[in-house]
Amino acid sequence: MNAHAYRIGIGYDIHRLVPNRKLVLGGVEIPSELGLDGHSDADCLTHAIADAILGACALPDIGHQFPNTDPDITGINSQIILKKAQEIASKSGFQVGNLDASIIAEKPKISPYINEMKSVLADTLRISTDQIGIKATTQEKIGALGAAEGIAAHAVCTVYRE
């Protein structure tokens, strides 16, 4: 077996919560008085997953692929970013094996939306929902995330050569 047949990547993203923005995580709009601030739809879960895929392939991160200085992508749906990350990985000879992610949010409650997130992400990546793990936790009221000033996500992804 090729020693480089399987690879692992990690991703992390964080965005500040602000008024007058939609809250989108994993491609799912979650009812909330506050949304995530960013150049795109600021979906930190999807961004972390996209970076994990690119990292596993030793490729530049989404900031390189989708710079926040590009006015043409203002407000872009992060599922487009994720799809592009998968296409870039595929052109490099890699397919997504599985991914696991954690969302850190004091509020709103995320767990009721996890299955829908898995479904949206699986559709975008053309993989099965059983290849995706998503967990939600709080920061136990410690620091900026604990004060509900933002939401963060960590992701780990395996890729393999076909």
The pLDDT, as a whole number, for residue 25 is 98
What is the rounded distance in angstroms from the CA atom of residue 156 to the CA atom of residue 87? 18
| Tokens at 81, concatenated | 């970013």
Residue 53 lies in a domain: yes
**In the chain, how many domains are there?**
1
The pLDDT, as a whole number, for residue 113 is 98
User: What CATH code is carried by the domain that includes residue 139?
Assistant: 3.30.1330.50
Residue 45 lies in a domain: yes
H-run or E-run covering 12 = strand 6-19
DSSP state of 127: -
Q: Which domain holds residue 122?
A: 6-161
Q: What is the pLDDT along the chain (162 residues), one digit of tens a residue?
A: 465 689 999 999 999 999 999 999 999 999 999 999 999 999 999 999 999 999 999 999 999 989 989 998 899 999 999 999 999 999 999 999 999 999 999 999 999 999 999 999 999 999 999 999 999 999 999 999 999 999 999 999 999 997
The pLDDT, as a whole number, for residue 1 is 46
The pLDDT, as a whole number, for residue 5 is 87
What is the rounded distance in angstroms from the CA atom of residue 96 to the CA atom of residue 160? 7
DSSP state of 121: H
Residue 1 lies in a domain: no
Cα angle 51, 52, 54 (rounded to 5 degrees) comes to 65
